[in-house]
Amino acid sequence: MLPPELLKLAEDVLARARAQGLHIATAESCTGGLIGAALTEIPGSSDVFERGFIVYSNRAKTGLLGVREDLIDKNGAVSEAVARGMAEGALQRSPVELAIAVTGIAGPGGGTTAKPVGLVHIAAARRDHATLHEAHSFGDIGRERIRLLSVEAALLLVLRLL
């Protein structure tokens, strides 16, 4: 079950998007669909939430969202460039006006000195607007906590874009 504060944020995102006549898609890697789960936990979300892409592998990021392989090769899957590519790809490949993307290292393994466990990149894209990006270093605080904090940060970024 998702924490009440995340559900409240999801409710706020849906209400603001609904008021502006916008539809949302998600592109999720380390969160594995938790943003979509938070949004669809709210009754009536189907008039705003269109679809979610769970793109855990690099192949999924390139195949489903059109993220360029050279971006992944040059920057790594956990990077600003790839987060932006995921959000913009979800926007281009969906009949929506707004997309949110998350890629990160939830742990417990997989981190490096340059990209430690807890590093998460989030991007939000909206048609005819500049794509927003945030990087978060949550630290090695446990997989579940990193994923939930990533959902919270993603929803807050969407609210900024709205």
Q: Give 1's pLDDT tier (boundaries 50, 70, 90).
A: confident
Kindly state the average pLDDT of the residues 141-153: 98
Specify the pTM.
0.97
- Please state whether the peptide bond connecting residue 95 to the residue before it is cis, i.e. omega within 30 degrees of 0: no
* CATH number of this structure's domain 4-161: 3.90.950.20
pLDDT tens digits for 125-146?
A: 999 999 999 999 999 999 999 9
The rounded mean pLDDT for the chain is 98
Is residue 68 scored above 90 in pLDDT?
yes
Query: What is the spatial distance between Cα 100 and Cα 124, in angstroms, rounded to a whole number?
Result: 4
| Residue type at position 115 | K
pLDDT tens digits for 10-48?
A: 999 999 999 999 999 999 999 999 999 999 999 999 999
b/e code 29-47 from CB counts within 10 Å (16+ = b):
bbbeebbbbbbeebeebee
| CA proximity to 84, closest of 60, 59, 66 | 66
Q: What pLDDT score was predicted for residue 81? A: 98
CA-CA distances (angstroms) from residue 58 to 16, 27, 80, 103, 119? Answer: 32, 13, 15, 11, 17
Query: What is the spatial distance between Cα 58 and Cα 79, in angstroms, rounded to a whole number?
Result: 12
